[in-house]
Structure 1
Amino acid sequence: MQSDPALLASFLLLLPLVLLGQPQLVRSTLNSMDESGTFQCVVHLPNNSIFLQQLELLQSTLQDLIGKYEQQLSRAKEYAYITEDQDSRTLELSHMLDSRNPGVTESQSDNPAFNLLRLQLERAQELAAQLQTKAGVSGAMELIHQLQNQIINASLVLKLLADSDYQSFRTLQEEVDVLEGRLSECEREKEQEQSSRYTGPPLAPGSCTHGGLQKVGRPLVLKLNWRGLQYKAGAWGRDSAPNPSSSLYWVSPLRADGRYFDYYRLHKSYDDLVLLKHYEQWKMGYGDGSGNTVYKNFMYFNYYGTRDMAKVDLSSNTLVLRRSLPGATYNNRFSYAAVPWTTLDFAGDEKGLWVLYATEESKGNLVISRLNDSTLEVEQTWYTSQYKPALSGAFMACGVLYALRSLSTRQEEIFYAYDTSTSQEYRLSIRLDKMLETLHGINYCPWDHKLYVYNDGFLINYDLTFLTLQEKLPNSPIKKPSGTSALSKPGKPARPPGQETP
């Protein structure tokens, strides 16, 4: 019998194992190699067909084993090449990342353990496929199918991790950079704010020892007005006198039409207002718009359908005075933007009682008049350069008018100031956040230096921060045309800028 040397050697190694129990059945003689390089092997076998079949099966099994060995050896070499190539790519990418981001840890997809896991999953997929071709029992087929699905899912997860790992790191790094930038900006703003903040003792109630408004705090939402969400227009606040005789809180929602002022409530304390207890409810019946305010325990408002000013004693809900405001427009003529029926807007501060309005002579520009709170006579009047219907609201603080305009549905800007003590105008930019779109009634309280705002049915207040006396109002004043006068004679309205005195 002639055979390949390697096959013959394997055969001779296995033959004793197969015939271990029958040593007397085989006798063999191994001659030397002939001139052609072929071994001559003489085997004396008994005349037994069963034994010959066993030898043939043994030889076939041996050939299958050698084939599988060579196949596995080839795959091992292929995996070695893949590993070497992957290691080189990993090293290259690592150098690239180090050059771009020194100190950054390596990606998971560049980790040798990560690559080994991927190769193991690939091998597991191949073995599962082989088992599927050889399995003949339905139960085994179902088990193999489940195993294949688990291997596929694990491979997909691994691939997603490899693809997204670096990008996720870059995205996270960018977010961290943005947050660090915002933090630095906030720190700079905080330092600037602290450097310009009023550094003296806390302002006493009713004090004007400051340089003007610097900042408006975040809105504090107290609650919805007592009549409900449909009553979007109205006003509320505290007594706007510097030293009020009581700590009353008042709330005056308008009817759902946004014009008619018929009811109001008085609460003796903040807790009573929050809890809606211990209140007095009064019917008014003749108010017009949301420009009312309370000063020295009297409520001032526009009498319905006229240019008249009205004064009601809150102790008894009695109308004690009604007086016409000379030249003032009424019936929604020159109201604030998005806030109808505010033709007369009353305000109180440390310097007294004021009314803000427009006239035909002023061509709709805002006019400021200081009133005698006892008689409602006009004591002095100032004309501004601001068109009243372009403003969203205004208030007085220490004799300075601050005007607002809407920037968006969630933010207002205090952009203009008029100092009645100097008749000087200023440009400002103080942002004021709001919860809902429209600010209806804006009232300043000198006692606690807060703004009380009626915001589409909700009661909101703001803390005010003032500049130091050394800094004053920060922006350059607006120059006025020469030859104009802002002050009026006692009891008479001032002429608009540009008109000559007869």
Structure 2
Amino acid sequence: MKLYVIVSLCALFTLTQQVTELDSLLLGLELRLPQLQEDVSMLQRENDEQLYGVISLQVIENELMQINQLVARLKSATLSHQRLTANTTEQLEDLKAEMQELEAYDSTGVVKSQQTNQRLKKDLDQCKSGLHPTTEPIQPPRGNCPHGQFLNISGPSVYTAGEYPGSYKYGAWGRDPKPEAGKESWYWLVMMTSSNKFSNYVRFYSSQSSLIAGVSAPGNVMIHTTNPTTNTIQGPNVVLYGEALYYNCYNEATVCRFNLTTKTVINFQLPKGTRFNSKGNFCHLDECYLFTDLDLATDESGVWVIYTTTQDFGNLVLSKVEESEPLRLSQTWHTSLYKQGVTNTFMACGVLYATRYVNKEVEEIFYSFDTTTREERFNVGVFISKMSPNIQSLNYSPVDQMLHAYCDSYMVSYNVLFG
């Protein structure tokens, strides 16, 4: 009788997995359909045959493609769910009949019943070791990530206005993936303190609790006393790596590296045709984020820069930054993703991820580019619950596998879930 119950539970567990899959697909459709209707209405209102209309049309085409994929998966999952329900019911009826027969056996049938139980136990073990979802996961394994497969983003784990509530709309924050000894728990913060565009210092906090409470014991490290000026920070997409701040140099298509120890700046020019000075921003249909032409990012392997060029017609270009002197790019990849249809990017395990604005409460990680396989995907389908309508910068921290978002002056962090 115990074995009968265990086999039944195994079948019911598989059935539960199917129900969860259906719930997930239905949620995806529920989020996408109203947004698609709104975007189509906006495109009809624009009708200007200019660049903005092209962006709207591209977003709508991507949404239609993803909705069709969701419907196809929903049909497949529904049919599979129906088959599994029928098979489970049949299996339970067969087991019930078999148990009734076993109960009617006399002592001469003991050996046969033991053989039956052994066979059923073997089937149960195979069931336990062979459970797999009937549909493919959203994101197949990528590259050589030590954490496993990128699966999802958790709800916010940190949400704080910090030391200057509501004062600086644009900025960035996070942790140094390669910190100096004794600074492993430190957090950094860069706010655009001049016109939401420029900054001339990086601010430090000795712990997460100090960051949330707004107590900066280490204080500021100044790049220059004037803001803005040569080699100061332009735009919010900055990162800290190996005790150095990487950012877009003021008024140039150039990456600067500010050494926190020596207080010196070195830089290098990006390829000819690189867009800067707010000509290649992250955008959604309602707004573009100022001076986001260059996006610096970190992952397990170091520092990256994401940008656009006239030669690539505004599509995202990704380059690896070498930690050398002089600074240089080691390798470059070209994508087919148009940047002004994207709101943010980040790197994790050598894979570029891009987000887009769904509504005031939700952002979607919809795109990935694997630098190992050069494979592009436009249907990643991972949703981020936002605490504020806009995410001005998004940094991945390989130290603790967290996403650090700067949202309309609020600092928010999310756990990145790997499998």
TM-score tier, shorter chain, comes to: 0.5 to 0.7
Specify the alignment match of 1:278 in structure 2. Answer: 217
Specify the alignment match of 2:204 in structure 1. Answer: 266
Residue 200 of structure 2 aligns to a residue in which SS? Answer: strand
Instruction: Say yes or no: does 1:430 pair with 2:375.
Output: no
**Do the aligned partners of 1:335 and 1:388 also contact (CA within 8 Å) in 2?**
yes
Q: What is the CA deviation profile of residues 465-499 of structure 1, one whole-angstrom value per residue up to 9, with x for unaligned ones?
A: 123xxxxxxxxxxxxxxxxxxxxxxxxxxxxxxxx
**Do the aligned partners of 2:391 and 2:406 also contact (CA within 8 Å) in 1?**
yes
Give the unaligned 5+ runs of structure 2.
1-15, 26-130, 134-143
How far the C-alpha of 1:195 sits from its partner, in A, is 6.7
How far the C-alpha of 1:267 sits from its partner, in A, is 1.5
Specify the alignment match of 1:394 in structure 2. Answer: 345
After superposition, the Cα gap between the structure-2 partners of 1:444 and 1:347, relative to the gap in structure 1 and judged at 3 Å, is same
What is the one-letter code of the residue matched to 2:164?
R
Whole-Å separation in 2 of the counterparts to 1:287 and 1:370 = 20
Q: Cα RMSD over matched residues?
A: 2.6
Specify the alignment match of 2:146 in structure 1. Answer: 209
Specify the alignment match of 1:312 in structure 2. Answer: 258
Whole-Å separation in 2 of the counterparts to 1:190 and 1:225 = 40
1:384 to 314, 328, 335: 335
Specify the alignment match of 1:444 in structure 2. Answer: 396
Whole-Å separation in 1 of the counterparts to 2:161 and 2:22 = 33
1:228 to 165, 175, 183: 165
How far the C-alpha of 1:189 sits from its partner, in A, is 5.2
Whole-Å separation in 1 of the counterparts to 2:259 and 2:147 = 33
Give the unaligned 5+ runs of structure 1.
1-183, 197-206, 468-502
Specify the alignment match of 1:290 in structure 2. Answer: 236
2:305 to 332, 351, 355: 355
What is the one-letter code of the residue matched to 2:310?
E
How far the C-alpha of 1:230 sits from its partner, in A, is 2.9
How far the C-alpha of 1:271 sits from its partner, in A, is 2.5
The two structures have a TM-score, normalised by structure 1, of: 0.51
After superposition, the Cα gap between the structure-2 partners of 1:464 and 1:323, relative to the gap in structure 1 and judged at 3 Å, is same
Q: Relative to structure 2, which stretch is displaced further, 295-304 or 215-224?
A: 215-224
How far the C-alpha of 1:291 sits from its partner, in A, is 1.0
After superposition, the Cα gap between the structure-2 partners of 1:244 and 1:401, relative to the gap in structure 1 and judged at 3 Å, is farther
Name the structure, 1 or 2, with higher relative contact order (CA <8 Å, separation 6+): 2
Highest Rg: 1 or 2?
Answer: 1
What is the one-letter code of the residue matched to 1:309?
V
Residue 381 of structure 2 aligns to a residue in which SS? Answer: strand
Specify the alignment match of 1:324 in structure 2. Answer: 269
How far the C-alpha of 1:426 sits from its partner, in A, is 1.6
**Do the aligned partners of 2:305 and 2:320 also contact (CA within 8 Å) in 1?**
yes
Specify the alignment match of 2:316 in structure 1. Answer: 366
**Do the aligned partners of 2:193 and 2:199 also contact (CA within 8 Å) in 1?**
yes
**Do the aligned partners of 2:309 and 2:315 also contact (CA within 8 Å) in 1?**
yes
Residue 155 of structure 2 aligns to a residue in which SS? Answer: coil
Specify the alignment match of 1:115 in structure 2. Answer: none
What is the one-letter code of the residue matched to 1:324?
Q
How far the C-alpha of 1:429 sits from its partner, in A, is 0.5
Instruction: Say yes or no: does 1:250 pair with 2:188.
Output: yes
**Do the aligned partners of 1:339 and 1:438 also contact (CA within 8 Å) in 2?**
no
Specify the alignment match of 2:54 in structure 1. Answer: none
What is the one-letter code of the residue matched to 2:392?
H
**Do the aligned partners of 1:272 and 1:279 also contact (CA within 8 Å) in 2?**
no
**Do the aligned partners of 1:225 and 1:253 also contact (CA within 8 Å) in 2?**
no
Residue 215 of structure 1 aligns to a residue in which SS? Answer: strand
How far the C-alpha of 1:322 sits from its partner, in A, is 1.7
Matched length: 272
**Do the aligned partners of 2:162 and 2:212 also contact (CA within 8 Å) in 1?**
no
How far the C-alpha of 1:215 sits from its partner, in A, is 0.4
Whole-Å separation in 2 of the counterparts to 1:282 and 1:274 = 20
How far the C-alpha of 1:210 sits from its partner, in A, is 4.3
How far the C-alpha of 1:344 sits from its partner, in A, is 1.1
Whole-Å separation in 2 of the counterparts to 1:367 and 1:334 = 12
Whole-Å separation in 2 of the counterparts to 1:382 and 1:270 = 35
Residue 451 of structure 1 aligns to a residue in which SS? Answer: strand
After superposition, the Cα gap between the structure-2 partners of 1:435 and 1:191, relative to the gap in structure 1 and judged at 3 Å, is closer
Specify the alignment match of 1:33 in structure 2. Answer: none
Residue 212 of structure 2 aligns to a residue in which SS? Answer: helix
Whole-Å separation in 2 of the counterparts to 1:258 and 1:186 = 48
Residue 393 of structure 2 aligns to a residue in which SS? Answer: strand
% identity of equivalent residues = 31
**Do the aligned partners of 1:267 and 1:280 also contact (CA within 8 Å) in 2?**
yes
**Do the aligned partners of 2:162 and 2:211 also contact (CA within 8 Å) in 1?**
no
